[in-house]
Amino acid sequence: MHPTTLEVRAPVPLTRLSEDEILFRDNVRQFAEDQVRPLVKEMDEKGVFEKDLIRQFFRLGLMGIEIPEQYGGGGGKFFEAILAVEELSRVDASAGVVVDVQNTLVNNALLRWANEEQRKRYLPRMATETCGAYALSEAGSGSDAFALQSRAVLKGGDYVLNGRKLWITNGKEAGLFVLFATVDPAAGYKGITAFLIEKQCPGFTVGKKEDKLGIRASSTCELILEDCRVPKSNVLGEVGKGYKIAIETLNEGRIGIGAQMLGVARGAWECAVRYAQERKQFGKPIADFQGIQFQIAQMTTEIEAARLMVYNAARMKDAGMPFVKEAAMAKLFCSQVAERVTSLAIEIYGGSGFTKD
């Protein structure tokens, strides 16, 4: 018998960070503590993200981590973007998702699919002043991502777009939208095309902002297209290849969401551990009780497993290795861990866990 041939992948370092990565992570962590945390409660209650924080994100280079230096970006790695999302989300998931969408979706789509003229026009702005949004979802197009109703019809040198988009993160803050519409409904997913649409484009309107139960400071908006005219030069990639852009960009996005959920879990765990050491019952901290210790140990273990999955997927992406399965698994598992850890944290807080304070 011939031995079974197994796929052999080069080992990828996971939790071990280089000195530069540690410095970057620590700087983002300190910024999150000093500048983001004091604003979290107010931003959540008002459902509005502080504009000055976004300006600080740009000044720190957090909005253009992978953009090459020749376009004004940091020339960094995808892994660094993931570290930034995790550390910001540890303090505020809204801050984490602003940076996440910018780097893993919008900038990523431009870097992979934009022509040189589009890169020169948009990448310097994305690195220094312009927020981006990724507009794929519609009322009937969520998990079935390609059931798009938004239409794009070529008229002369422009495409005329009509339709509505829902659940668009960063919709209120964004100045540039990577928006998907179909040029030929009969062609199914092969008619889907990606367009670069600027906020001031005629016929383009940002509609209502959703009043969400969580991640409230992050804007999630409706987009309205009413005879919105977009030059042919603003087609991203090729006409009819939008489905490919959407699928491949969302692969990186899944790792970003995994990092966001990892940060949320870490933040909740840290609060729960601190409270367990402060809260006393029967003459001693509740952290001394084995029942509480079991819960904290379970939370700690799941967070570490989630970190390994996120870091592994990000390292594989940077190494040019196939990572689609790992990205999907990381998003799934980290979302589950975030729910379990935050729920356990509420239990450890007892009655106080049911109050907004």
> Which domains, from first to last, does the chain contain?
19-130 (1.10.540.10), 133-239 (2.40.110.10), 244-354 (1.20.140.10)
* Beta-carbon count within 10 A of 307 CB: 21
Tell me the whole-structure pTM to 2 decimals: 0.93
- Predicted pLDDT of residue 80: 98
- Predicted pLDDT of residue 14: 59
pLDDT digits (tens, 9 = 90+) for 314-344: 999 999 999 999 999 999 999 999 999 999 9
Give the whole-angstrom CA distance, residue 247 versus residue 109.
11
Is pLDDT at 2 greater than 50 in this prediction? no
Q: Phi, psi (5° rounding) for residue 32?
A: -60, -40
State the Rg of the chain over Cα: 22
- Predicted pLDDT of residue 6: 42
**Over residues 178-183, mean pLDDT:** 97
Is pLDDT at 281 greater than 60 in this prediction? yes
- Predicted pLDDT of residue 144: 74
Nearest of 331, 320, 328, 324 to residue 10 by alpha carbon = 320
**Over residues 302-318, mean pLDDT:** 97
Is pLDDT at 1 greater than 70 in this prediction? no
Is pLDDT at 313 greater than 90 in this prediction? yes
User: Which has the minimum average pLDDT: 14-28, 77-91, 120-134, 247-261?
Assistant: 14-28
User: Which has the minimum average pLDDT: 3-7, 198-202, 260-264?
Assistant: 3-7
pLDDT digits (tens, 9 = 90+) for 56-108: 999 999 999 999 999 999 999 999 999 999 999 999 999 999 999 999 999 99
pLDDT digits (tens, 9 = 90+) for 199-216: 999 999 999 999 999 999
User: Which has the minimum average pLDDT: 6-15, 54-63, 71-80, 267-276?
Assistant: 6-15
Side chain identity, residue 253: G
pLDDT digits (tens, 9 = 90+) for 39-56: 999 999 999 999 999 999
* Beta-carbon count within 10 A of 198 CB: 15
Give the whole-angstrom CA distance, residue 325 versus residue 220.
28
- Predicted pLDDT of residue 184: 92
Structure tokens, 322: 């196939």
Is pLDDT at 12 greater than 80 in this prediction? no
In three-state form (DSSP H/G/I as H, E/B as E, the rest C), the secondary structure along the chain is: CCCCCCCCCCCCCCCCCCHHHHHHHHHHHHHHHHHHHHHHHHHHHHCCCCHHHHHHHHHCCCCCCCCCHHHCCCCCCHHHHHHHHHHHHHHCHHHHHHHHHHHHHHHHHHHHHCCHHHHHHHHHHHHHCCCEEEECCECCECCCCCCCCCEEEEECCEEEEEEEEEEEECCCCCCEEEEEEECCHHHHHHHEEEEEEECCCCCEEEEEECCCCCCCCCCEEEEEEEEEEEEHHHEECCCCCHHHHHHHHHHHHHHHHHHHHHHHHHHHHHHHHHHHHHCEECCEEHHHCHHHHHHHHHHHHHHHHHHHHHHHHHHHHHCCCCCHHHHHHHHHHHHHHHHHHHHHHHHHHHHHHHCCC
Side chain identity, residue 317: K
* Residue 293, CA distances (Å) to 262, 266, 274, 344 in order: 21, 16, 13, 12
Is pLDDT at 178 greater than 80 in this prediction? yes
pLDDT digits (tens, 9 = 90+) for 119-177: 999 999 999 999 999 999 998 876 776 788 999 999 999 999 999 999 999 999 999 99
**Over residues 108-115, mean pLDDT:** 97
